[in-house]
Amino acid sequence: MNEKMSDALNGQINAELYSSYLYLSMASYCKRLNLEGFTRWMEVQALEELSHAMKFFNFVNERGARVELKAIEGPPVSWDSPLAVFEAVYNHELKVTGLIYDLVNLATEVKDHAAVNFLQWFVNEQVEEETSADNIVQKLKLIGSDGGGLYMLDQELARRVFTPLPGTTILAGAAAGA
């Protein structure tokens, strides 16, 4: 694998692990607000991001390149409201989409067709991630300060279930217990 590509993929592993940290921090914030469904949504999101990191981890290893794990920056720990949390989620997913697009551009530039093919899954995943976050932001804006609406959304978010990605066996047991 091209060294520049390997370095960039290692950077993405770090970014995905940071995303998992961020969503765990958001889960803790939601838990402090007694929003169990919001907490559940964030916990599942943290597991998804960890599975994304593992998908990159496995790809780099399978290509014979070295995985170089670096320190993970600490995430914020507090937000102004549930709406502010989900606006942060949406903005974070936009940032991750940019990172994925940069990887696709690099893979195309260095003619790494395997990486281009691998990254297409993430391009599609980011469409889903952005849509999901934006839908919740729009619902929270509609709800405003209505406690009943917030309660109903909390109940809806509590139904989210983590589904491990194929090839990420390290997380297989988390699905049942999540």
pLDDT tens digit sequence for 116-167: 999 999 999 999 999 999 999 999 999 998 889 999 999 999 998 898 877 6
Closest CA to 144 of 91, 52, 81, 97: 81
Q: What is the Cα 56 distance to its own chain's centre?
A: 13
For 43, the token pair is 């916990």
Amino acid at 146: D
Where does the pLDDT of residue 178 fall: very low under 50, low under 70, confident under 90, or very high at 90 and above? very low
Gap between the Cα atoms of 96 and 107, Å rounded: 16
Helices 113-143/147-157 angle, 10° precision: 150
Closest CA to 45 of 103, 124, 144, 128: 128
17-75 pLDDT, tens digit each: 999 999 999 999 999 999 999 999 999 999 999 999 999 999 999 999 999 999 999 99
Gap between the Cα atoms of 178 and 53, Å rounded: 18
State the residue for tokens 């899954």.
Answer: 121
Per-domain residue ranges of the chain = 3-166
Question: Do the Cβ atoms of 26 and 41 come closer than 8 Å?
Answer: no
Q: What is the pTM for the complete model shown?
A: 0.90
Gap between the Cα atoms of 131 and 127, Å rounded: 6
* Third-level CATH fold of 3-166: Ferritin (1.20.1260)
Q: What is the Cα 124 distance to its own chain's centre?
A: 13
